[in-house]
Amino acid sequence: MSDVVIIMGSTSDLPVVEKAKSLLQELEVSVEMRVGSAHRTPEHVRELIARAESEGTKVFICAAGGAAHLAGAVAALTARPVVGIPLAAGALGGVDALYSTCNMPPGMPVATVSVGSWGATNAALLAAQILAVADDTLHERLCTYRAQKTRDVIAKDQELQAGDQG
């Protein structure tokens, strides 16, 4: 059983989605990746969600491009939190996926993050933050991660200043 299951619409989504997996692993969150399409394999998605729920998965991350209905379809199948990553696929650059993922009708929420790799990072962090509500050690790891990001920016600022003075 994994606390987080990431479902992507196609293996062509893998290069972006892997970023979410590795960040969750870095945060020591158990995670697995699956492929299932709302349009091409709706029954497979239904079975996958039922199985994951019965095994104790707590958060689902869904990534899809195009007319991206995967996150919404999963939200219809589970009362667990669903985080949706819209991906850029096809001619519309991800705007289509963003609208399809975020504009859910009242009653079936999808926590939609940014398009593409920014979204993969934020989906992982959001899933970890959801789990951290009931896990203080994970919360500590998230605080450490954020503190490092702060230090990185300060270091860049100092580098820039040093360059200007040189």
Q: Which of 12, 103, 158, 161 binds ligand RP5 (CB under 6 A)?
A: 12
Give the ranges where the chain is alpha helix by DSSP (H).
14-26, 42-55, 70-75, 95-102, 117-132, 136-165
66 contacts ligand RP5 (rule: CB under 6 A): yes
Measured between its terminal Cα atoms, the distance across the chain in Å is 55
9 contacts ligand RP5 (rule: CB under 6 A): yes
Q: Which of 29, 64, 83, 138 binds ligand RP5 (CB under 6 A)?
A: 64
Q: Of 58-66, 71-79, 138-146, 150-158, which part binds ligand RP5 (CB under 6 A)? A: 58-66
119 contacts ligand RP5 (rule: CB under 6 A): no
The encoded tokens of residue 92 equal 């519309």
87 contacts ligand RP5 (rule: CB under 6 A): yes
Burial classification of residue 41, based on how many CB atoms lie within 10 Å of its CB (0-12 exposed, 13-18 middle, 19 or more buried): middle
Comparing CA positions, the residue from 127, 92, 93 lying closest to residue 113 is 127
Nearer to ligand RP5, 10 or 122 (CB): 10
Where on the chain is the footprint of ligand RP5 (CB under 6 A)? 9-10, 12-13, 37, 64-66, 87, 89
